[in-house]
């Protein structure tokens, strides 16, 4: 078996710049679209992608996959499957013999071929990084199961955002009330796997960030390890108040100092 270095034609220990350059050159050279009649082209192309993945960080790979003109087929992966890993079922377009003319060529087809949607399964590793190159396996292939390279896209989670350049970290915007922020509180916070309790200290300003170590995405290459969950405090200002809240706020206003005193003193 070749090492990733050998696959990319590099000396062991070459730097990231050299790895990237070698991958780009070979990926263009062996792109399956350029070798439609060579069934080994896809294997060769995927082997390059795997070698590249083995030698680079997830962030660099995601960037690279977006840059290299590679498989045009994209697969959307729900956030939960990107997190836990699993399988995604998709239909991908493949060339098939035209049923009307049996491949001889007719008005309904192009040179005897039509594009057919065929069911494929894509296995997703836990901690998937957007832009990763994956293999799709044909589900019910009669003449051997075809494989196609696909690029993974991750459907956004309604709760957790990814961070550019830190794909293993997740960001959660956490609304807190004025009284919680001022007086302090312990609040329940969802992580991708459980609900945890977070202590909000008295006097927490809007926008303050808390970090839960290991609360983020699983790390692709390091099973059992996770990125961080970054919790950003958002002060929840009610758009409307009921009479009780209004009385309480008016009472509060009587005791508030002027936060603009320092600004106005210089005028």
Q: Which member of 19, 62, 109, 230 binds Zn ion (CB under 5 A)?
A: 109
Within 208-227, which residues bind Zn ion (CB under 5 A)?
Answer: none
The CB-of-96 to Zn ion minimum distance in angstroms stands at: 11
Q: Which member of 46, 98, 122, 172 binds Zn ion (CB under 5 A)?
A: 98
What DSSP assignment string belongs to 134-202? Answer: EEEEESS-SSS--EEEEEEEEPPPSSEEEETTEEEEEEEEEEE-HHHHHH-EEEEEE-SS-EEEEEE-T
Consecutive H or E run containing 61: helix 58-67
The CB-of-95 to Zn ion minimum distance in angstroms stands at: 12
Consecutive H or E run containing 75: strand 74-77
120, 137 in Cβ contact below 8 A?
yes
- 106 sits near Zn ion (criterion: CB under 5 A): yes
Three-state secondary-structure class, residue 21 = helix
Q: Which is nearer to Zn ion, 17 or 107 (CB)?
A: 107
| 31: Cα separation from own chain's centroid | 24
Consecutive H or E run containing 28: helix 16-29
Q: Which member of 100, 121, 166, 177 binds Zn ion (CB under 5 A)?
A: 100
Query: Running DSSP on this structure, what letter comes out for residue 68?
Result: S
Q: Which is nearer to Zn ion, 114 or 236 (CB)?
A: 114
The CB-of-222 to Zn ion minimum distance in angstroms stands at: 51
Closest residue by beta carbon to Zn ion: 98
Q: Which is nearer to Zn ion, 57 or 100 (CB)?
A: 100
172, 215 in Cβ contact below 8 A?
no
Q: Which is nearer to Zn ion, 59 or 96 (CB)?
A: 96
Within 52-81, which residues bind Zn ion (CB under 5 A)?
Answer: none
125, 104 in Cβ contact below 8 A?
no
- 96 sits near Zn ion (criterion: CB under 5 A): no
Plot region of 184 (φ>0 → left; ψ -120 to 50 → alpha; else → beta): left
The CB-of-141 to Zn ion minimum distance in angstroms stands at: 22
Please choose, out of 90-98, 182-190, 205-213, 252-260, the segment that lies near Zn ion by the rule CB under 5 A.
90-98
Please choose, out of 83-91, 103-111, 197-205, 223-231, the segment that lies near Zn ion by the rule CB under 5 A.
103-111
- 101 sits near Zn ion (criterion: CB under 5 A): yes
Q: Which is nearer to Zn ion, 88 or 109 (CB)?
A: 109
- 115 sits near Zn ion (criterion: CB under 5 A): no
Distances (CA, A) of 112 to 92, 106, 134, 160: 19, 7, 30, 48
The CB-of-39 to Zn ion minimum distance in angstroms stands at: 24
Please choose, out of 3-11, 35-43, 68-76, 96-104, the segment that lies near Zn ion by the rule CB under 5 A.
96-104
Burial class (CB in 10 A: 0-12, 13-18, 19+), 137: middle
The CB-of-117 to Zn ion minimum distance in angstroms stands at: 17
Residues forming contacts to Zn ion in the complex (CB under 5 A) are 98, 100-101, 106, 109
């Amino acid at each position: 078996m070749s090492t990733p270095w050998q696959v990319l034609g590099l000396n062991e220990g070459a730097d990231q710049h050299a790895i990237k350059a070698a991958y780009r050159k070979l990926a263009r050279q062996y792109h399956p679209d350029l070798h439609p009649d060579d069934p080994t082209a896809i294997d060769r192309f995927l082997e390059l992608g795997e070698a590249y993945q083995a030698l680079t960080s997830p962030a660099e790979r995601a960037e690279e996959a977006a840059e290299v003109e590679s498989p045009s087929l994209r697969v959307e992966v729900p956030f939960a499957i990107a997190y836990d890993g699993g399988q995604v079922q998709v239909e991908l377009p493949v060339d098939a013999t035209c049923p009307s003319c049996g491949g001889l060529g007719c008005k309904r087809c192009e040179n005897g071929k039509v594009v057919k949607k065929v069911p494929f399964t894509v296995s997703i590793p836990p901690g998937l990084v957007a832009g990763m190159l994956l293999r799709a396996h044909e589900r019910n292939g009669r003449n051997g199961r075809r494989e196609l390279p696909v690029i993974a896209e991750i459907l956004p989670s309604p709760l957790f955002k990814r961070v550019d350049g830190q794909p293993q970290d997740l960001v959660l915007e956490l609304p807190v009330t004025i009284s919680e922020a001022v007086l302090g509180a312990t609040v329940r916070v969802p992580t991708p796997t459980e609900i945890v309790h977070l202590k909000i200290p008295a006097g927490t300003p809007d926008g303050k960030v808390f970090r839960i170590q290991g609360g983020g995405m699983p790390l692709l290459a390091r099973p059992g390890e996770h990125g961080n969950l970054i919790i950003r405090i958002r002060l929840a200002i009610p758009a409307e108040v009921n009479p009780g809240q209004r009385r309480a706020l008016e009472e509060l206003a009587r005791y508030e100092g002027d936060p603009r005193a320092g600004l106005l003193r210089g005028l």
